[in-house]
Amino acid sequence: MTEFVFGKGSNLIGKPKNRVLIPMAEISLDWLAVLYYLQLPCPELLTSFLFKSVNRRHGIFIRYIKSNLKDRHGLSPEDLGGDVFSHLLFSRDSYSGEKSNAEEIQSECRLLSAAGFDTLSTTLCATIFYLSHYTHPYTLLANEIRTNFRSSADFQRGERLKGCKYLNACIDESLRISPPICTSARGRLRREVR
């Protein structure tokens, strides 16, 4: 997710110290949900007393985001690439024409990073769960992947990956059956009936 947002991966497999980011992202989302849904009158004051450990761990995640932002701010426009940060850095408000300020960019990057970790892991788990329980779709998907990619080294983003229609269908179906965010069943059922 950090590669998508900041243009550089966090290398969770190669750097064990970075594995702390996954629970920190979850804690960050919990922290935001509490603040959003409770609509507390003095959120900073109350959360510093009520959620000390959450606040401390949320701070670790914020420092990680800020360090990535600091690294990216020093790059030239050519070196930034096509990540979310570079688009936010040069974007303008459609109504006022003003550029996004540093606080808005940090807020967007923080939310996308935390939500992306959670959404991606939930979606992958659901997809793997359904594929492990239903052998026919698994076989079709395995054949499609083995046809398009000869080895794991070939498996990269690009047109060949986009061309895997059955893979996209499996992910879409997993998102439909087990959405990574809370939704009302009533709204889902209404769409299903139509």
152, amino acid identity: S
Q: How far is CA 139 from CA 60, 128, 143, 145, 155, in A?
A: 42, 13, 6, 10, 18
Main-chain dihedrals φ then ψ at residue 51, nearest 5 degrees = -125, 55
> 3-class SS at 99?
strand
Q: Which residues contact 174 (CB under 8 A, 6 or more apart)?
A: 123, 126, 127, 130
How far apart, in whole angstroms, are the C-alpha atoms of residue 90 and residue 59? 27
28 vs 153, higher pLDDT: 153
Reply yes or no on whether the pLDDT at 194 is more than 60: no
pLDDT digits (tens, 9 = 90+) for 138-181: 999 999 999 999 888 887 777 888 889 999 999 999 988 988 77
Reply yes or no on whether the pLDDT at 115 is more than 70: yes
Tally Cβ neighbours within 10 Å of residue 76. Answer: 6
Name the pLDDT band for 91 (thresholds 50, 70, 90): confident
> What are the structure tokens assigned to 107, written together?
């807020």
Query: For position 168, what pLDDT does the model report?
Result: 93
Q: How far is CA 152 from CA 13, 108, 146, 149, in A?
A: 16, 33, 10, 7
